[in-house]
């Protein structure tokens, strides 16, 4: 069920270059050995997979990120772009970024400061013109969100917040501690 056939000619050249660069040279790809948070997600539509590990420091900031996966170029580039954003962020900030990215992919217009928070990941917005690929772009982010929520529930169950009705864009497997 792999789908290599994404037509990149439809994307702006700059976007295309950034996405392909992250696909070919994924950032933070090394698996972390003793992560605080570990989660795994699958996009059944495309066969894409994403495994994410985070280590938090004593103050709850992301100290280390590991993202591995396989699948189409959009899903893998998206995981790499996301990984670059997470270092130094708190769990809450990482959740906010995930929400911003989801809104961008759902076609909601973001403000300039919101867009800036997404950094280079903003280039994936071009993908939203290809509805079948939106799930590919969202996979790593929704997988991350599941891991963050699992962590939050573990450390402070009473503080678990609903986010947008709790609906994910598509069913995700994983979030099982100790996967791998």
Q: Does 48 sit near Zn ion (CB under 5 A)?
A: yes
Q: Which two three-digit tokens encode residue 70?
A: 């396989």
Does 121 help bind Zn ion (rule: CB under 5 A)? no
Query: Using CB under 5 A, which of 85, 136, 138, 145 touches Zn ion?
Result: 136
- Nearest distance, CB of residue 118 and Zn ion, angstroms: 20
* Residue whose C-alpha is closest to residue 26's, from 85, 89, 69: 69
Q: Which is nearer to Zn ion, 77 or 104 (CB)?
A: 77
Q: How far is the CB of 171 from Zn ion (least distance, A)?
A: 15
Nearer to Zn ion, 37 or 46 (CB): 46
Q: Does 75 bind Zn ion (CB under 5 A)?
A: yes
- Identify the DSSP state of 67: E
CA angle 72, 77, 81 (to 5 degrees): 160
Q: If binding is defined by CB under 5 A, does position 46 make contact with Zn ion?
A: yes
Contacting residues for 174 by C-beta, under 8 A, at least 6 apart: 39, 40, 41, 42, 143, 146
In this chain, which stretch among 53-61, 129-137, 145-153, 166-174 interacts with Zn ion, using CB under 5 A? 129-137
Instruction: Report the phi/psi class of residue 119: left, alpha or beta, with left for phi > 0 and alpha for psi in -120 to 50.
Output: left
Total binding residues toward Zn ion, as defined by CB under 5 A: 5
The first and second tokens of residue 58, run together, are 């004593």
Q: Name the site residues for Zn ion (rule: CB under 5 A).
A: 46, 48, 72, 75, 136
């Amino acid at each position: 069920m792999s789908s290599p056939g994404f037509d990149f000619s439809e994307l702006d050249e700059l976007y295309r270059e950034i996405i392909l660069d992250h696909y070919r040279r994924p950032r933070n790809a090394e698996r972390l050995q003793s992560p605080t948070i570990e989660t795994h997600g699958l996009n059944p539509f495309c066969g894409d997979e994403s495994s994410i590990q985070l280590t938090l420091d004593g103050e709850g900031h992301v100290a280390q990120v590991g993202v591995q996966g396989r699948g189409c170029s959009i899903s893998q580039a998206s995981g790499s772009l996301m990984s670059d954003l997470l270092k130094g962020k708190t769990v809450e900030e990482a959740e906010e970024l995930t929400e911003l990215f989801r809104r961008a992919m759902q076609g909601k217009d973001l403000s300039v400061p919101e867009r800036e928070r997404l950094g280079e990941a903003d280039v994936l917005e071009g993908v939203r013109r290809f509805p079948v690929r939106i799930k590919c772009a969202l996979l790593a982010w929704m997988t991350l969100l599941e891991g963050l929520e699992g962590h939050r529930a573990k450390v402070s169950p009473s503080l678990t917040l609903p986010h947008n009705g709790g609906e994910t864009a598509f069913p995700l497997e994983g979030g099982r501690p100790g996967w791998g």
